[in-house]
Structure 1
């Protein structure tokens, strides 16, 4: 197993996790007036993201790498687009949560690609697979917004 490739894949996932954390910080409290049933799930996602970040940093260090504890360029562009879009949309709450769903779906794809790459050791794959499971669970809770308004 090539540690450089492993560290690179893990750093990509770390960037995506940091994108999630940064994106979550953009969700305004007023969203929960309409979607109060999702608040505890959302809080759990934020907490899980911090845990995932810690796990990825540990794996990177264990594999002799240095954690790239930044966000991705694509994530920064997406967050800027969300800001522009939200300034023009009529339903900011729903739009904001739709962006959470979009971000979760993108993270799921990235995690699956990391697992499919063959660049992760068995230990790293187990952690990444567990994190992917959490992402899919979060996505499932938020994907049908119309069904979960308060």
Structure 2
């Protein structure tokens, strides 16, 4: 399998989503008073930082230029989380709803890239491992959401 511009673009899209997730989890951790949730959000941010580093290294390995920041849509989603959190009467429930929505979007992005892009073996393995972690996180967030509802 030859590394192509398409692979580069798709991996950069996933990098952007992960950078947005890092920022979102960090902001969420800053805005909760629940220590358990704060620590969990920081752990999620740390794991997603690892994903970003792995993906950037993969893009660089093949001579591509990895993304270093997010796009407008991701920034807009984080702003929506901030606004929703500010106006919500049950901040934690609203926060979990938005986190789950964002993570479900990430799952869709990963699945789309895996389905529609002919990846190198290492890129495919990396994305599948990261996707498994994100799916597990969605399940964990759903479980916690029911506790705060």
Whether TM-score is above 0.5 comes out as: yes
Distance 2:74 2:145 in 1: 26
Does the Cα contact within 8 Å between 1:41 and 1:138 map onto a contact in 2? no
Q: 1:25 is matched with which residue?
A: 26
Q: How many residues align?
A: 147
**Which residue does the alignment assign to 1:8?**
9
Contact 1:30 1:93 in 2 (8 A): no
TM-score, with normalisation over the residues of structure 1? 0.87
Q: Distance in 2 between matches of 1:5 and 1:28?
A: 35
Deviation by residue 1:69-95 (Cα, 9 ceiling, x = unmatched):
111221111112222222221111221
Query: How many Å separate the matches in 1 of 2:102 and 2:16?
Result: 13
List runs of 5+ in structure 1 lacking aligned partners.
none
1:96 is matched with 95
Question: Structure 2 matches for 1:107-118, cutoff 5 A?
Answer: 107-118=106-117
Contact 1:19–1:75 under 8 Å retained in 2: yes
**Cα pair 2:15 2:55 within 8 Å, conserved:** yes
Which secondary structure does the structure 2 equivalent of 1:31 belong to? coil
CA-based RMSD: 1.9
Question: Which runs of 5 or more residues in structure 2 are unaligned?
Answer: none
Q: Could you say which structure has the greater relative contact order, defined with CA pairs below 8 angstroms and 6 or more residues apart?
A: 1
Call closer, same or farther: CA 1:32–1:108 in 2, change over 3 Å: farther
Alpha carbons of structure 1 residues 145 and 75: separation in structure 2 relative to 1, 3 Å: same
Distance 1:92 1:147, change over 3 A: closer
* Aligned residues of 1:10 and 1:60 also touching (Cα < 8 A): yes
Scaled by the length of structure 2, what TM-score is found?
0.88
Tell me, in whole angstroms, the C-alpha distance in 1 between the residues paired with 2:43 and 2:82. 24
Instruction: Find the counterpart in structure 2 of residue 64 from structure 1.
Output: 63
- Name the SS for the 2:108 alignment partner: helix
